[in-house]
């Protein structure tokens, strides 16, 4: 039973990888990859598995647009007049 579960997890990961890591597809975001996977395959929690895979994808994390506000520029301290 446990081996069967591991095999299923491995197959899910492999299917997601084949639909996500293709250069023609261009490392699609979550919804694009989910759509490609669901054209031919379906299992419970497809969206969660695809999201988990993309969160672990090194290329996607490096290319992700960051929306958080950047830290302000450093401000100079006042120079003391006396030692």
Mean residue pLDDT across the chain: 81
- The answer to whether residues 47 and 34 touch, using CB atoms and an 8 Å cutoff, is yes
The whole-angstrom separation of Cα 65 and Cα 51 is 17
Give which of 12, 23, 24, 22 is closest to 50, Cα–Cα.
Answer: 12
Residues 38-62: what's their mean pLDDT? Answer: 88
Over residues 46-72, mean pLDDT: 83
Question: End-to-end alpha-carbon separation of the chain, Å?
Answer: 75
For every residue of 34-53, DSSP letters joined together read: HHHHHHH---TTHHHHHHHH
pLDDT at 49: 92
pLDDT, average across residues 58-69: 78
Query: pTM of the full predicted structure?
Result: 0.65
Q: What is the pLDDT of residue 51?
A: 92
Per mean pLDDT, which of 9-18, 24-33, 64-73 is the most reliable?
9-18
């Amino acid at each position: 039973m446990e081996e069967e579960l591991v095999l299923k997890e491995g197959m899910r990961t492999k299917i997601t990888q084949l639909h996500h890591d293709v250069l023609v597809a261009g490392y699609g975001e979550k919804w694009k990859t989910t759509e490609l996977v669901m054209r031919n395959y379906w299992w419970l929690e497809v969206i969660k598995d695809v999201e988990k895979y993309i969160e672990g994808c090194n290329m996607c994390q490096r290319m992700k647009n960051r929306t958080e506000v950047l830290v302000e520029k450093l401000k100079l301290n006042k120079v003391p007049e006396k030692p």
